[in-house]
């Protein structure tokens, strides 16, 4: 396993269309994160899974966004009725719990991202 992969790398769509992105994490990683990066900004947290459970969602994640991780392996992020403001780089990261609580931080390994352009 060479790292986190994301598909597609680029997506151009028209406003109002639905799009779905896929993330394949590093195989033994139980944690999976989605981030979004817009031009000139750093990545912003969208949502987090531990195994198949979605444990946290940012308020950035409107009702048009949904994420799943059905078997605790790959994850999908769907955007319904896309808007021009959804144009961004969507990054996925995975990690594994490093040590006992209160004693460690995870290193998150990122994929190359999916660049979405909404026309």
Partner 1 sequence: ILNVEQSPQSLHVQEGDSTNFTCSFPSSNFYALHWYRWETAKSPEALFVMTLNGDEKKKGRISATLNTKEGYSYLYIKGSQPEDSATYLCALDLHNNAGNMLTFGGGTRLMVKP
> By CB under 8 A, how many residues form the interface with partner 1?
26
Region from 11-19, 38-46, 63-71, 77-85 binding partner 1, contact rule CB under 8 A: 38-46
42 binds partner 1 (CB under 8 A): yes
Give the contacts of 63 (CB within 8 A, at least 6 positions apart): none
Among 111, 114, 116, 118, binds partner 1 (CB under 8 A): 111
* Minimum distance, C-beta of residue 21 to partner 1, in the bound complex (Å): 15
Give the contacts of 102 (CB within 8 A, at least 6 positions apart): none
Whether residue 75 contacts residue 22, with contact meaning beta carbons closer than 8 Å, is answered with yes
End-to-end Cα spacing for the chain? 35
* Minimum distance, C-beta of residue 80 to partner 1, in the bound complex (Å): 24
Residues 68-97 touching partner 1, rule: CB under 8 A, are 91, 95
Cis preceding linkage at 79, omega within 30:
no
Write out the residues near partner 1 by the rule CB under 8 A: 3-4, 31, 33, 35, 40-45, 48, 50, 55-56, 91, 95, 105-113
């Amino acid at each position: 396993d060479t790292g986190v992969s994301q598909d597609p790398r680029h997506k151009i769509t028209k406003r109002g269309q639905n799009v779905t992105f896929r993330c394949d994490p590093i195989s033994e990683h139980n944690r999976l994160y989605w981030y979004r990066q817009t031009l000139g900004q750093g990545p912003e947290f969208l949502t987090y899974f531990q195994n198949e459970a979605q444990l946290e969602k940012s308020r950035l994640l409107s009702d048009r966004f949904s994420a799943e991780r059905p078997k605790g392996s790959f994850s999908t992020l769907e955007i319904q009725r896309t808007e021009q403001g959804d144009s961004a780089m969507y990054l996925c990261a995975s990690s594994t719990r490093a040590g006992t609580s209160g004693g460690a931080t995870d290193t998150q390994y990122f994929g190359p991202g999916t660049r979405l352009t909404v026309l």
